Structure 1
Amino acid sequence: METISVIGNVFWIILGGWVNALAYFLGGLVMMITIVGIPFGFALWKLAVLALLPFGKDVKVERVTGWHIFGNIVWLLLFGWAIALSHVFFGILFFITIIGIPFGYENFKLAKLAIWPLGVSVKDRVSGLPM
């Protein structure tokens, strides 16, 4: 299973995953400029990690507090819906072809994180370590 994840990640990066990851990382830097945007910056960095190497990673809810719910609602209204919609769009495009189905699945995983990023972690499927 680990070899398949490595192969999938290599193809993902070659086919443009690094562009997505770079955009999320730079967006996170912009959000870090303000104190209010720091949690959203960390959320974008989680998306950057998952967008760079999505194969072999799981998105898991770690904790849900009142702040996470409030922050996720604000995130969803301001940014999350557009980011998630773009990943759903590309996921559907990838699902049209048989060879693209794994990439479509990874786009749906990114959409899931883009909708509700606060209180959620990205973990390696094999080691269980947070990324």
Structure 2
Amino acid sequence: MSLLLNIIWILMGGAWMALGWLIAAAIMAVTIVGIPWARAAINIALYTLMPFGYSAVPRDHYTGQEDIGTGALGTIGNILWFVLAGWWLALGHLITAVLWAVTIIGLPFAWAHLKLAGIALWPIGKMIVPNDQRYPAPRV
């Protein structure tokens, strides 16, 4: 079912939002200091192409350890991301979600855009994992 939803997603608007993420990644990469944000934007562009069957989870919750992207520097990075690119990507996802929500058949797509709008606002410190791996096995 995820494969079918992802194919419909790409054909019906997912590709243009992935393009928005890639444009944000290119802009960040050009600045050189924005390369960490560019890497995150490319990962999320791939997630934007195939959102069904995957989830964005906090990296520290998944791995069980904090790193540079999940601590204070990650918060500062997310604030900078929000100012430079996050708000317009989230706005694009919100507008697209409203357009999909108008139709009953488009509700799964609207929900996926809302998930992506949330990650557009605060992407640093997140990782994309298959839904069946969202909750890793407890470490002994």
- Bin the TM-score by the shorter chain: 0.7 to 0.9
Count of matched residue positions in the alignment of Structure 1 and Structure 2: 125
Q: Does 1:106 align with 2:112?
A: yes
Structure 2 unpaired stretches of 5+? 61-69, 135-140
Shift, 1:25, TM fit: 2.4
Q: 1:52 aligns with which of 41, 49, 53?
A: 49
TM-score (normalizing by structure 2):
0.81
Deviation >4 Å, runs of 4+:
none
Q: Deviations over 1:44-94 (max 9, x none)?
A: 112201111111111101132111000001111221111112211211221
Q: 2:88 aligns with which of 63, 82, 100?
A: 82
- Counterpart CA distance in 1 for 2:6 and 2:118 is 19
- Counterpart CA distance in 2 for 1:18 and 1:90 is 12
Q: Does 1:123 align with 2:135?
A: no
Q: 1:36 aligns with which of 33, 38, 42?
A: 33
TM-score (normalizing by structure 1):
0.86
- Counterpart CA distance in 1 for 2:44 and 2:82 is 14
- Counterpart CA distance in 2 for 1:86 and 1:22 is 11
Q: 1:27 aligns with which of 24, 28, 31?
A: 24
- Counterpart CA distance in 2 for 1:76 and 1:30 is 14
- Counterpart CA distance in 2 for 1:76 and 1:26 is 15
Q: Deviations over 1:83-130 (max 9, x none)?
A: 1122112112211211000000110111011000000111111355xx
Shift, 1:37, TM fit: 0.7
- Counterpart CA distance in 2 for 1:93 and 1:68 is 32
- Counterpart CA distance in 1 for 2:91 and 2:24 is 17
Shift, 1:17, TM fit: 1.7
Structure 1 unpaired stretches of 5+? none
- Counterpart CA distance in 1 for 2:71 and 2:131 is 25
Q: Which has the larger radius of gyration?
A: 2
Task: Please provide the CA RMSD for this pair.
Answer: 1.6
